Structure 1
Amino acid sequence: MKLIILDRDGTLNEDRDDFVKSPDEWRPIPGALEACARLYRAGWQLVVATNQSGLARGLFDVATLDAMHAKMNALLAQHGGRIDAVFFCPHGPADGCDCRKPLPGLFHQIAARYQVDLRGVPVVGDSLRDLQAGATAGCEPHLVQTGKGARLDARGLAEIVRQVPGTLVHADLAAFADTLLSHRADPSALASGASVR
């Protein structure tokens, strides 16, 4: 099974310091939906793993979150792609759950749902906690320089690579797709590539 696990805010759509609270506020990062569609057409199944503490904070409800994801998939369908499933943590930082990234609970849910070993499965995110959660579950970490990743200087990028060894850095989701698809004939070439792209 060809599976990719994506973060949402800052990776697929524009991040907001005050949270993405409605479908109107859910705006795709330029090129992200096209990248997802390219990956989907190449035979990859895409799933999202996302912290959504706005639920615990009372900023929106599950129906509104579902509406955001309906918009996401409707826009993706226009490009010939789709997200197979969205796994989300509804808890706040102090709730003590095991599904809020950087803990790997969402990834364990994904592994159980798809009955797959996540070793080597790409995880793509814009922050350290995305990569830590994925790496703990055995995923191959990929950082995009959008969202929170866009705020990192060279030292910040190097620190993430130090904390999550093997991290590959890409300008955005489109650059990640370029890299993955260019190495589809030889998957090991991706893992042996440079740490920063």
Structure 2
Amino acid sequence: MVEEFKKHGIDILNVYFCPHSPEENCDCRKPKIGMILQSQKDFEIDLINSWLIGDKITDIETAVNANISNNILISQKKDYPELLNIANNLLDTINIIKK
């Protein structure tokens, strides 16, 4: 994934993932915000002005839990009418962010 983005001039600084099972009840498993807090610490991220883009509803729940109000769910399904920002694919997220 990182190499594919790099081909298009996009540098990804780090990739975070949770290696734990749901039963372990860790702080890094979404929708908990452990990975968000770690990335904020690593890169001094301004969460208020950040965007979280995800392909699962737990990604959006994570954004809400971390007070990231700018979020986009990538989904072909329109099962979440309460969400303001739903994109069909990653490319479509650009138009939402530009608004």
TM-score normalised by structure 2 residue count: 0.85
The aligned counterpart of 2:95 is 178
The structural deviation recorded for 1:111 is: 1.0
Residue identity opposite 1:98 in structure 2: D
Is the 1:144–1:170 Cα contact (8 Å) retained in structure 2?
Answer: yes
Deviation >3 Å, runs of 4+: none
The aligned counterpart of 1:141 is 71
Deviations 1:83-142 (A, max 9, x none): 111111110010010110011111111111112331131000111100111121121121
Is the 1:121–1:138 Cα contact (8 Å) retained in structure 2?
Answer: no
The aligned counterpart of 2:7 is 78
The structural deviation recorded for 1:79 is: 2.1
The structural deviation recorded for 1:74 is: 2.4
* Equivalent pairs, count: 98
Distance 1:128 1:80, change over 3 A: same
* Higher normalized contact order (CA 8 Å, seq sep 6+, divided by chain length): 1
Unaligned runs of 5+ in 2: none
TM-score normalised by structure 1 residue count: 0.46
Q: CA separation in 2, counterparts of 1:111 and 1:134?
A: 13
The aligned counterpart of 1:110 is 39
Unaligned runs of 5+ in 1: 1-71, 162-166, 184-189, 191-197
Is the 1:134–1:141 Cα contact (8 Å) retained in structure 2?
Answer: yes
